[in-house]
Amino acid sequence: MTDLIDPAGNRLYLTAAERAAFLTAAAKAPREVRSFCEVLHFTGCRISEALALTIGRVDIDGQALVFETLKKRRTGMYRAVPVPLRLIDTLVLVHGVREARGRQRNCSLWSWSRTTAWRKVRTVMAAASLEGPQATPKGLRHGYGGAAIGATVPLNMLSKWMGHAAIETTAIYANALGEEQRSIAERMWK
């Protein structure tokens, strides 16, 4: 199980404002970088899972992306994560998903190494003026989990979307300081 605060007391997840700044910076990046960053932002997937995403796993009609859960010990474990239509539109436009569905189903959307993808995401983070231990792809994943909890996504559903083997792993996101906790604290201060 992971924690959302490091041993030095630093936050390891992006806040809503930081996630918005990341998306704004990604919109100014090259098209393939933008689409990659938006997939990470809107799905909370791991970098390796995004890199394994193929044209055939973009479910246009179902408005979802289907990821192979790579952290589990066996292959062939898939999960569908709902995404906004604007992300589907971006993937269709940037990667020609609609046109390539029949003949290139197994073609990856990005041909980068994990290290290259990590660097590209960090470049977008820097362009968004995001610094600190939370300004990483993992911090983006943690921010997704915290945002989902703040939007009252049920824990079991979020666990499925994030590809966690145990719901206890997903429960850490309930510990992120969000609007609900702040609201409760403000009532106490009155």
- Half-sphere exposure (CA, 13 Å, Cβ side) for 136? 12
Residue from 48, 71, 41, 68 nearest 57 by CA: 68
Given a contact cutoff of 8 angstroms between Cβ atoms, the answer to whether 178 and 186 are in contact is no
Q: Is 69 left (phi over 0), alpha (psi -120 to 50) or beta?
A: beta
DSSP letter, residue 90:
H
What is this structure's pTM?
Answer: 0.87
What pLDDT is stored for residue 81 in this prediction?
96
What pLDDT is stored for residue 1 in this prediction?
42
Percent of the chain having pLDDT more than 90?
Answer: 55
First to last CA, the chain: 36
Structural domains in the chain? Answer: 16-189 (1.10.443.10)
* Distance separating alpha carbons of residues 29 and 127, to the nearest angstrom: 9
Q: Give the lowest-confidence range in 23-27, 98-102, 124-128, 156-160.
A: 98-102
Q: For residue 184, name the pLDDT band (cuts at 50, 70, 90).
A: low
- Work out the average pLDDT over 165-186: 69
What pLDDT is stored for residue 75 in this prediction?
76
